[in-house]
Amino acid sequence: MQSEMNFYKFDRAEWSQFHSQNFTSVTDAELAQLRSLNDEISLDDVKTIYSPLRHLIHIRYEDYQGDMFTLNRFLGMQRNPHTPFIIGIAGSVAVGKSTTARLLQLLLSRAYPDKRVQQITTDGFLYPNAELERRGILDRKGFPESYDMQLLIHFMNNVKNASGVVRAPKYSHQIYDIVPDEYEVIDRPDILIVEGINVLQLPSKQPIYVSDYFDFSIYVDADPTLIEQWYLERFGILLDTAFTDPSNYYYQYAIGNRKDAFDMARKVWRDVNLKNLKEYILPTKTRADVILHKTTGHKIDHVALRKW
């Protein structure tokens, strides 16, 4: 907790007070849509936690647009370049970053029907397995050296410069690799949500951080014992869906002994993802603007807001 000394801390009841009087709260239709996104999401969290969070993002987005306007006025530019507002979401493997990103995308799309809100994960910037193998780091997937950071920075730069449609490589958990010749397309969004374990990390060689492109950032936090449980639950789901597909990375595990498969997953959690969390991900927590702390059942019990 000492490491979060530059944060205001709120429990659920306190945080829920930060609703705006003049900004619509989450509607029943939105709640229904969120249910279809992930039927485990607590609708109470959406009202209590995400609605005030959306309000905070709304204020920051307005300020950002004001700053862009001021800059253009100084530069004597006639037209506002379409520079997107970028939100970063960091946290451990399997803590729920992509679920949080999808939830925010939906809530922000609803708040701004005439704006384009897109989402992307940095998983696509991992080197393909063949390249990881060539470098002798296949067992370091997710660690800083397993990402093509130069490509990621280049991507962020193109998105921020609004230079047109930008493509990003695509990662698949099913094949456990980069999908050849398939891309995510980022098409001049007004708001882009970038989610990944590495988004608040400092660069090893590059002069610029991924977070230099962020206008707002969130860290999703939880006790590692709980995250391990979520990781294993998701592993179970991956196994259940791999049975019928021999091209699925998990197929051999799916048709084999289930206990052996889970023993293997527990080992990968301990030796790769937990290690990565402790060494490289957790130290980035206090760089975020907001920390969402989750407890059992993914319920958010605390929110921390950066003071300065």
Ligand X SMILES: CC(C)(CO)[C@@H](O)C(=O)NCCC(=O)O
Annotated binding-site members for ATP:
91-98
Given the structure tokens 């989450």, which residue do they identify? 26
**Min CB(99)–ligand ATP separation in Å:** 3
**Per-residue x/- marks for ligand X, 104-123, CB under 6 A?**
-------------------x
> Is 141 an interacting residue with respect to ligand X (CB under 6 A)?
yes
Q: What's the token pair of residue 125?
A: 């910037």
User: Which of these segments, 53-61, 88-96, 208-216, 284-292, binds ligand ATP (CB under 6 A)?
Assistant: 88-96
Query: Can you say whether the dihedral through the CA atoms of 130, 210, 293, 97 is positive or negative?
Result: negative
Find out whether 99 and 41 touch, Cβ atoms under 8 Å.
Answer: yes
CA distances from 12 to 9, 77, 103, 291 (A): 10, 44, 18, 13
State how far the Cα of 17 lies from the Cα of 35, in Å rounded to an integer: 24
Nearer to ligand ATP, 64 or 124 (CB): 124
> Is 298 an interacting residue with respect to ligand ATP (CB under 6 A)?
yes
> Is 138 an interacting residue with respect to ligand X (CB under 6 A)?
no
Q: Which residues pair with 120 in a beta bridge?
A: 194
**Min CB(136)–ligand X separation in Å:** 16
Binding residues: 91-98
**Per-residue x/- marks for ligand ATP, 172-211, CB under 6 A?**
-------------------------x--------------
The one of ligand X, ligand ATP, none whose footprint includes residue 273, by CB under 5 to 8 A per kind, is: ligand X
HSE value, Cβ hemisphere, 13 Å, CA-based, for 163: 10
Q: Residue 193: phi, psi to the nearest 5?
A: -105, 120
Q: What's the token pair of residue 178?
A: 């980069």
> Is 100 an interacting residue with respect to ligand X (CB under 6 A)?
no
Nearer to ligand ATP, 64 or 291 (CB): 291
Nearest residue to 55 (alpha-carbon basis) of 66, 47, 43: 47
66 Cβ contact partners less than 8 Å away, ≥ 6 residues apart: none
Nearest residue to 58 (alpha-carbon basis) of 210, 161, 221, 191: 191
Nearer to ligand ATP, 134 or 258 (CB): 258
Nearer to ligand X, 143 or 214 (CB): 143
131: left (phi over 0), alpha (psi -120 to 50) or beta: alpha
> Is 38 an interacting residue with respect to ligand ATP (CB under 6 A)?
yes
Find out whether 290 and 305 touch, Cβ atoms under 8 Å.
Answer: yes
Strands 191-195 and 85-91 come out as parallel
> Is 197 an interacting residue with respect to ligand X (CB under 6 A)?
yes
The one of ligand X, ligand ATP, none whose footprint includes residue 234, by CB under 5 to 8 A per kind, is: ligand ATP
**Min CB(151)–ligand X separation in Å:** 16
The one of ligand ATP, ligand X, none whose footprint includes residue 97, by CB under 5 to 8 A per kind, is: ligand ATP
> Is 268 an interacting residue with respect to ligand X (CB under 6 A)?
yes
Size of the site for ligand X (CB under 6 A): 8
Interface positions with ligand X (CB under 6 A): 93, 123, 141-142, 197, 268, 272-273
